Structure 1
Amino acid sequence: MHIHFIIHESYEGPAAFSQWVTDNGFKQTSTHLYLGESLPAVIDFDLLVILGGPQSPLTRRDECAYFDVEQEISLINRCIAKGKALVGVCLGAQLIGEALGAKFEHSPQREIGYFPITMTDAALASPLFEYFQLTEVVGHWHNDMPGLLPTSKVLAYSQACPRQIVEYGDLIYGFQCHLEFTQTSISALIASAFEQDAMFGEQWVQHPVDMAATDTRAMNRLLFQFLDKLVLKYKAH
């Protein structure tokens, strides 16, 4: 298996995804957009993982010179046409929705920290999520949420956001939440992107000290188990 990552910012990298790739002996490549790297022209990978960032699908090139939403949507559509597996996280989930014609929306509440999600009946019936309990505590860092199509399945929601995990197709999944956070990666995100004055006091914003101290291993294992199942499903196609 060859896994390719689209990385928008230095402080929002693959984190636990990389551990899964290494543990399985898979090939890993990345596009670091913040360094000016170009998106891949040749789709020689099996799974594309599009990570998060402070941008939104409405962000223009004059606002962020290295973020080109049309190019990312084009890459996503080429991957779908080739039958590749796709996982989008946060911004990545919104971009997958946009590529399929599902416009992103603002989440009812901003969520930053570790809070529970609730799995839907569709998730509990899916072999890819068989290791998930009805509720699981996972990471969050968002203002927006992915759009939905009539064929989309919402697999998880939270009190603050009705779209935490979305199935767009057999091999296409969007995670508004962050199961990939580790103590190392969340510390980098806090240092780079936590706007203390703007965020303190909001109901669904956790104190950064508490975030940095949270043990992420349980939710990381859930991510690994989902990815293992996704790989098996991909190989069976």
Structure 2
Amino acid sequence: MQVHFVIHEAFEAPGAYAQWADSRGHGTSFTRLHAGDPLPRDANAHDMLIVMGGPQSPATTLDECPHFNAMAETSLIAAFAAAGKPVVGVCLGAQLIGEALGASFEHSPDKEIGTFPITLTTAGRANPMFAHFGDTLDVGHWHNDMPGLTADATVIAQSEGCPRQIVQYGPLVYGFQCHMEFNREVVALLIAASTQELDAFRSSRFVQQPAELLAQDYAAMNEVLFTFLDKLEAAFEGSAGPRQASAGDA
């Protein structure tokens, strides 16, 4: 399987998502937008698309951030979804999935930075892709906004501070507002890039400070993510219709 990552900023690293791909022997490629890399022209050369987070929003313009082209990213996401290939969006990436499929992002009721529980909805508990999550799960957060909901979207999980933590947009398309990819290295990068933000929101009820952020053990959450990604890969391999050979399938 060929997995392509879209990375908006160096401090928004793929963490456990890349670890999963490497541990399963999948080929990986990266568009590092902050470094000027171009997006793929289409979905043909890759089997899975993972779009990471960033400080931008889907409404950020090219004038505001010259390396972020929301329209180009939503077009790529739509191409992968139309091709029946898995798409996972994280934070900003989840919001871009909603935009690509016709649903505008919204502001979250609360800002969340830290480790807090998500709770599966009734639909989430009935979905076999999430049977291993349990009713609640402690996961990472770092966001202000949340993805929009299309007519066909299903909310899989929510938190006290945000009603849209995991959204299913299609059989192989999922938005994760939460950050299950976090490990201490990824969190350290975010802290270094966010000292003013953390200080400004010190009194917010869902904002933890650096010492607490770095003290978390993210391994159990990462393992839950790995199992989900294994299930997503299996669902793709078992999906109906011919599969187009990718560059790494020779």
TM-score relative to the length of structure 1: 0.98
Mapped pair 1:151 → 2:152:
yes
Distance 1:36 1:154 in 2: 34
Distance 1:193 1:5 in 2: 23
State the match for 1:100 in structure 2: 101
Distance 1:160 1:219 in 2: 19
- Structure 2, gaps ≥5 residues long: 240-250
State the match for 2:61 in structure 1: 60
Displacement of 1:42: 4.0
Distance 1:128 1:81 in 2: 21
State the match for 2:233 in structure 1: 231
Q: CA RMSD in A?
A: 0.8
- Structure 1, gaps ≥5 residues long: none
Paired residues for 1:166-185 under 5 Å: 166-185=167-186
State the match for 2:38 in structure 1: 38
Q: Is the 8 A contact 2:198 2:209 kept in 1?
A: no
Mapped pair 1:72 → 2:73:
yes
Distance 2:194 2:202 in 1: 13
Q: Is the 8 A contact 1:127 1:229 kept in 2?
A: no
Displacement of 1:197: 2.9
Displacement of 1:198: 1.2
Displacement of 1:174: 0.1
Distance 1:80 1:173 in 2: 10
Distance 1:196 1:114 in 2: 14
Q: Pick one of 206, 213, 216 that aligns with 2:215.
A: 213
Distance 1:196 1:149 in 2: 32
Displacement of 1:150: 2.0
Distance 1:212 1:236 in 2: 39
TM-score relative to the length of structure 2: 0.93
State the match for 1:90 in structure 2: 91
Identity of aligned residues (%): 52
Q: Is the 8 A contact 1:6 1:49 kept in 2?
A: yes
What letter corresponds to residue 226 of structure 2 in structure 1? Answer: F
Q: Is the 8 A contact 1:141 1:177 kept in 2?
A: yes
State the match for 1:16 in structure 2: 16
- Alignment length (residue pairs): 237
